[in-house]
Amino acid sequence: MDQSTAAEFASRWVGPWNSHDVGAVLAHFTDDVVFTSSVAARFLPETGGVFRGQAALRAHWAAALARLPELHFEVLGTCAGVDHLVINYRNHVGDLVCEVLRFDGSLVAEGHGTYLSDDAARASGLLR
């Protein structure tokens, strides 16, 4: 993946997030995607912070968006690897987040939400 492709993907990714269109966000992911989230690990401890498949991810993200009507991301930059992409962004509460995505072809097969904080739930805006 080159930097141009990485930036283009990040642009297509952030729009649906900012409009809270979970279906459009999920269109970027494989059906059997695996996604980890330290925020989910805190709020849904039974998941261990791991979601397997689009249905599980849809349920989690829809619930999170319902709790965060002000959610908004500002992409600050991207880093491209062979089949990985890191999207660095600032969230609606001003905290820095990196989304680490591994691709299978043109779709994300694995993703990880990472935070510049030991308290990801607070950094996500779910706790104030």
Q: Kindly list the domain boundaries of the chain, sorted by start residue.
A: 3-116
CATH number of 3-116: 3.10.450.50
Cα 45 to Cα 59: distance, rounded to the nearest angstrom: 15
pLDDT string in tens for the chain (128-residue length): 999 999 999 999 999 999 999 999 999 999 999 999 887 777 777 888 899 999 999 998 898 888 889 999 999 999 999 999 999 999 888 888 999 999 999 999 999 998 876 655 555 655 55
pTM: 0.88
Backbone torsions φ then ψ of 10, nearest 5 degrees: -60, -40
Residue tagged 């969230």 (tokens): 91
Q: Sign of dihedral through CA atoms 105, 109, 110, 113?
A: positive
